[in-house]
């Protein structure tokens, strides 16, 4: 009755975790160490060269010698034999404690996670209380009344450790419960017990094993301490902790003695920790892999082999750049690579003082990476080449200090998703005050006045109230205005705004664009707006750069882009825009999607989706060349050949998707 799909998914998941674990050498070493040590301890009677309690006064405190590879103690007892036999009570004790904690903890955790409500409440509260009990005193009590019985103490320690395992199991159960395949089994009508044992349990092993392994390590440490105090194991019976105590008595005569027992204990604890770490990584890796194909957003992730060589000189040479010498910002031949994979190639852009440039394209085209390269906010893993000149200074060549000088004062930045773009721990006033203090050196009252002024500039009424608010108390539109105020604080010459309207609803979008327009007119700053929304370009931009698969494919005045797009991709984008759609006809769309960087050809990147593709398109790299409009350039081999063949914009190159 069990759904084959569900069973299959689980089996895969389990083996994936196991395989991921097997690939971690440290985890495997830890597991091997625990297994071998346990084996040796179980076979102590066969392996040990001596009786662990046999005293031999002729060889006392020998240090490692051939007859006693790990030496002898002050009574001439063989250390190796004591270590092997001592491991019995030690590891048995750990097993007892961990087994109790595991069995009870998993059952209670499953019940709490599955039942929910009052039952969950009762179990969780009780667990909280038990967790706060100072375990050591309870253990001392138990050793006192059970005449130092080795088992009761460890069982009690197990009971006191139940809450930890219970909590982890509950959390994992809650997570597993919400997953689709559990819903499927519920719809199929399986019994609760079968759901728990057949489906939930197999899917929550990961975190439970991690925490059980950590518990084993902690238990070894606590038990070692108790044994050191001769609790649980009474001398002359050996235990690892007790042997440290014995070694301490002859510390001055034979310091070596503290090594074998303590090191064995430390290595065993470390082995359990390594198992836990590897298991945690394996669970995370397995989870990540099963999710990945569904939604992969960033093309910036390193993926696959380098599919493409740097194109010939014709392409890397700076394309025709108008007025680059006088430009506020001039980006030349900018390329960005992650892990050998180029995600932005040969980008050339210029922004003049007071000009607004829109960078348009679908997701994964490299717009944000380009902006990050200009801002200098790409991580250490990025390899950036080319030239980013701001006011004549190449920002890629300058040091950290000079770069920091530009931030906020030269180039400011407003990010997408305003709700996560402010530090949740600080108020609006504190955010703005900090940058105002940094840029203007203002203090106290003057600083507050400037903060108020900035908040007023971005159209927030009652600026003093807003300044007192924390980010979680702002709406999306307010947060976006605060971010703009933050960017304005340094009186930047260039503002880079990355998809600032995407996370907002439509009326707020229009307000924010109006605000940007009036701020630009007021302050004379230049702007780069990164967007996938052609409406934004039409609304506010002077010029547009269209990006596709890591390259700029067309630059032109905003009006030209709409009225006479030169590149087939631009034409397709415009045709696919709802604004130009005719009523009653299906909206045009571009078939396919932006390929990931690994699949970009050396020739035209758009060829595979282009309706005008010809053999020549696949023959080699394509350079930017002059198109019909003033200052219009495009990256298309057919440009001059057939400029007349696809005249102005509103022709519909694609009917609809395949």
Partner 1 sequence: MARVILLRFVSSVVLFILVPTVTFFVQTLTPGEVARSVLGIGATQEQIDAFNHRLGLDSPPLERYFDWLRHFSQGDLGNSYITGQPVSEILGSRIGVSMSLVIGALLVYSAVGIVIGVGSSVGGRVWGRVVDLVSTIGIAIPNFWLAVILISAFAVSLGVLPAIGYVPLSESPSGWLVSLILPVVALAFGGITSVAKQARDRMIATLDSPHTGVLRANGVSEASLVFKHALRNSAGPVITVLGLNFVGALSGSVVIENIFVLPGLGSQAITSTANRDLPVIQGIAVYFTVIVVVVNIIIDVIVPLLNPKVRRSS
Taking CB under 8 A as the criterion, which residues in 90-149 touch partner 1? 125, 128-129, 132-138, 140-145, 147
Q: Which is nearer to partner 1, 118 or 507 (CB)?
A: 118
Which position has the token pair 């705004």?
497
Give yes or no for residue 188 binding partner 1 (CB under 8 A). no
Q: Which of 110, 244, 513, 637 binds partner 1 (CB under 8 A)?
A: 244
Nearer of residues 134 and 578 to partner 1, judged by Cβ: 134
Q: Which stretch binds partner 1 (CB under 8 A): 105-113, 165-173, 410-418, 456-464?
A: 410-418
Site residues for partner 1, 196-235, by CB under 8 A, read 217, 220-222, 224-226, 228-229, 231
Residue 172 CB partners (closer than 8 Å, separation 6+)? 109, 113, 203, 204, 206, 207, 208
Burial bucket for residue 125 (CB in 10 Å: 0-12, 13-18, 19+): exposed
Select from 28, 155, 201, 270 the one that contacts partner 1 (CB under 8 A).
Answer: 270
C-alpha span between 375 and 370 (Å, rounded): 9
Only segment of 74-82, 264-272, 335-343, 525-533 that touches partner 1 (CB under 8 A): 264-272
Q: How far is the CB of 156 from partner 1 (least distance, A)?
A: 9
- Token pair 């931009």 is found at 541
Q: How far is the CB of 387 from partner 1 (least distance, A)?
A: 20
CA atoms within 13 A on the CB side of 92: 15
- Range list of β-strands (E), 470-517: 494-498
Q: How far is the CB of 15 from partner 1 (least distance, A)?
A: 27
**CA 338 – CA 406 distance, rounded (Å):** 25
**Closest residue by Cα to residue 646 from 571, 589, 585:** 571
Per DSSP, the residues of 389-443 read: EETTEETTTS-HHHHHHHBTTTEEEE-S-GGGSS-TTS-HHHHHHHHHHHHH---
Task: Return the residue of 27, 408, 429, 550 that touches partner 1, per CB under 8 A.
Answer: 408
CA quadruple 322, 324, 326, 329: dihedral sign: positive
> Residue 53 or 403: which CB sits closer to partner 1?
403
Task: Work out which of 35, 251, 446, 650 binds partner 1, going by CB under 8 A.
Answer: 251
The candidate with the shortest Cα–Cα distance to 493, out of 321, 356, 370, is 356
Please state the closest distance from residue 215 (CB atom) to partner 1, in A: 12
Decide: helix, strand or coil at residue 446.
helix
Contacts to partner 1 from residues 349-378, by CB under 8 A: 375, 377
- Residue 273 binds partner 1, judged by CB under 8 A: yes
DSSP for residue 583? T
Minimum CB–partner distance for residue 319 and partner 1 (Å): 27
- Pick from 1, 425, 506, 579 the residue near partner 1 by CB under 8 A: 425
Strand 633-634 relative to strand 625-626, pairing? antiparallel
- What's the CA gap between 319 and 15, in Å, rounded? 52
Positions 376 through 395 that interact with partner 1 (CB under 8 A): 377, 380
CB distance 20 to 286 below 8 Å: yes
For the segment 431-470, give every residue that binds partner 1 (CB under 8 A).
Answer: 431, 434-435, 438-439, 470
For residues 128 and 505, which CB has a smaller minimum distance to partner 1 in the complex?
128
Identify whether the C-beta of residue 65 lies closer than 8 Å to the C-beta of residue 71.
yes
Among 181-189, 242-250, 335-343, 619-627, the segment contacting partner 1 (CB under 8 A):
242-250
Quick count: other Cβ atoms within 10 Å of Cβ 345?
25
Nearer CB in complex with partner 1: 313/424? 424
- Short-list 137, 165, 142, 166, CA closest to 154: 142
Q: How far is the CB of 479 from partner 1 (least distance, A)?
A: 11
Closest Cα partner for 159 from 125, 131, 123?
131
Minimum Å gap between C-beta 314 and partner 1 is: 35
Nearer to partner 1, 103 or 136 (CB): 136
Phi-psi region of 606 (alpha: psi -120 to 50; beta: other; left: phi over 0): alpha
Residue closer to partner 1, measured from CB, 199 or 481: 481
Strand-strand pairing, 411-414 and 494-498: parallel
Output 412 or 534, the one with its CB closest to partner 1.
412
Q: How far is the CB of 59 from partner 1 (least distance, A)?
A: 22
CB of 453 to partner 1, least distance (A): 17
Q: Which residue's CB is nearer to partner 1, number 366 or number 621? A: 366
Task: Check binding of 476 to partner 1 (CB under 8 A).
Answer: no
CB neighbourhood size of 45 (10 A): 11
Query: Total number of residues binding partner 1 (CB under 8 A)?
Result: 79
Question: Among 205, 413, 562, 569, which residue sits at the site for partner 1 (rule: CB under 8 A)?
Answer: 413
Kindly identify the residues of this chain, within the stretch 296-335, that bind partner 1 according to CB under 8 A. none
Task: Name the residue nearer to partner 1 (CB basis): 132 or 645.
Answer: 132
Round to whole Å and give the CA distance between 593 and 590: 8
Phi-psi map region of 177: left, alpha, beta (phi>0 left; psi -120 to 50 alpha) = alpha
Closer CB to partner 1, 41 or 200, in the complex? 41
Counting contacts by CB under 8 A, is residue 472 touching partner 1?
Answer: yes
For 309-344, the DSSP string reads PPPPHHHHS----TTGGG-SEEEEEEEEEETTEEEE
Question: Closest distance between partner 1 and the C-beta of residue 345, in Å?
Answer: 24
The site map against partner 1 for 483-502 (x = CB under 8 A) is x--xx-xx-----x------
Q: Judged by CB, which is closer to partner 1: 128, or 651?
A: 128
Return the number of the residue (169 or 416) whose C-beta is nearest partner 1: 416
Residue 141 Cβ, how far from partner 1 at the closest point, in Å? 5
């Amino acid at each position: 009755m069990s759904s084959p799909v569900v069973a299959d998914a689980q089996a895969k998941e389990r083996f994936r975790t196991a395989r991921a674990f097997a690939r971690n050498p440290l985890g495997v070493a830890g597991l091997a160490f625990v297994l071998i040590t346990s084996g040796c301890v179980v076979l102590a009677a066969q392996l040990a060269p001596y009786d662990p309690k046999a005293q031999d006064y002729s060889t006392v405190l020998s240090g490692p010698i051939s007859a006693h590879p790990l030496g002898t103690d002050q009574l001439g007892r063989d250390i190796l034999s004591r270590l092997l036999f001592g491991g019995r009570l030690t590891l048995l004790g750990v097993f007892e404690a961990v087994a109790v904690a595991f069995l009870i903890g998993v059952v209670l955790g499953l019940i709490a996670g599955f039942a929910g409500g009052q039952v969950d409440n009762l179990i969780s509260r009780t667990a909280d209380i038990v967790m706060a009990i100072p375990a050591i005193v309870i253990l001392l009590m138990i050793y006192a009344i059970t005449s130092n019985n080795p088992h009761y103490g460890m069982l009690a320690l197990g009971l006191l450790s139940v809450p930890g395992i219970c909590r982890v199991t509950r959390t994992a159960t809650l997570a597993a419960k919400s997953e689709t395949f559990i819903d499927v089994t519920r719809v199929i009508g399986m019994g609760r017990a079968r759901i728990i044992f057949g489906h939930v349990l197999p899917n929550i092993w990961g975190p439970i094993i991690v925490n059980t392994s950590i518990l084993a390590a902690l238990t070894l440490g606590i038990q070692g301490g108790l044994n050191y105090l001769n609790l649980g194991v009474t001398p002359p019976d050996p235990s690892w902790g007790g042997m440290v105590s014995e070694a301490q008595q002859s510390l001055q005569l034979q310091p070596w003695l503290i090594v074998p027992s303590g090191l064995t204990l430390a290595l065993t604890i470390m082995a359990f920790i390594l198992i836990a770490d590897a298991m945690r990584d394996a669970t995370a890796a397995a989870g990540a892999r099963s999710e990945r194909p569904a939604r992969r957003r960033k093309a910036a992730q390193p993926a696959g082999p380098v599919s493409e060589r740097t194109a010939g000189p014709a392409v890397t040479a700076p394309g025709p750049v108008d007025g680059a010498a006088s430009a506020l910002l001039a980006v030349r031949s900018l390329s960005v690579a992650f892990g050998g994979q180029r995600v932005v190639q040969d980008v050339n852009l210029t922004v003049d003082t007071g000009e607004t440039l829109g960078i348009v394209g679908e997701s994964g085209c490299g717009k944000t990476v380009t902006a990050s390269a200009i801002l200098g906010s790409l991580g250490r893993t990025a390899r950036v080449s080319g030239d980013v000149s701001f006011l004549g200074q190449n920002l890629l060549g300058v040091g950290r200090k000079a770069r920091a000088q530009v931030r906020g004062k030269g180039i400011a930045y407003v990010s997408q998703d305003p709700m996560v773009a402010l530090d949740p721990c600080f108020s609006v006033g504190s955010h703005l005050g900090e940058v105002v203090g940094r840029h203007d050196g203002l203090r106290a009252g003057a600083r507050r006045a400037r903060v108020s002024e900035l908040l007023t500039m971005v159209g927030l009424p009652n600026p003093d109230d807003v300044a007192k608010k924390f980010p979680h108390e702002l709406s999306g539109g307010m947060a976006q205005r605060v971010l703009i105020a933050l960017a304005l604080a340094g009186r930047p010459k260039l503002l880079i705004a990355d998809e600032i309207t995407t996370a907002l609803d439509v009326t707020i979008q229009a307000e924010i664009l109006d605000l940007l327009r009036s701020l630009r007119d007021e302050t004379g700053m230049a702007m780069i707006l990164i967007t996938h929304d052609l409406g934004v370009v039409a609304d506010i931009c002077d010029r547009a750069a269209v990006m596709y698969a890591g390259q700029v494919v067309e630059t032109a005045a905003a009006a030209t882009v709409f009225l006479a797009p030169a590149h087939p991709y631009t034409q397709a984008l415009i045709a696919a825009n709802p604004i130009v759609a005719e009523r009653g006809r299906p909206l045009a769309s571009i078939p396919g999607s932006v390929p990931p960087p690994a699949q970009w050809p050396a020739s035209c990147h758009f060829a595979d989706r282009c309706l005008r593709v010809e053999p020549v398109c696949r023959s080699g790299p394509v350079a930017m060349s002059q198109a019909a409009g003033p200052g219009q350039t495009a990256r298309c081999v057919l440009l001059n050949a057939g400029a007349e063949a696809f005249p102005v914009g509103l022709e519909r190159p694609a009917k609809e998707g395949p």
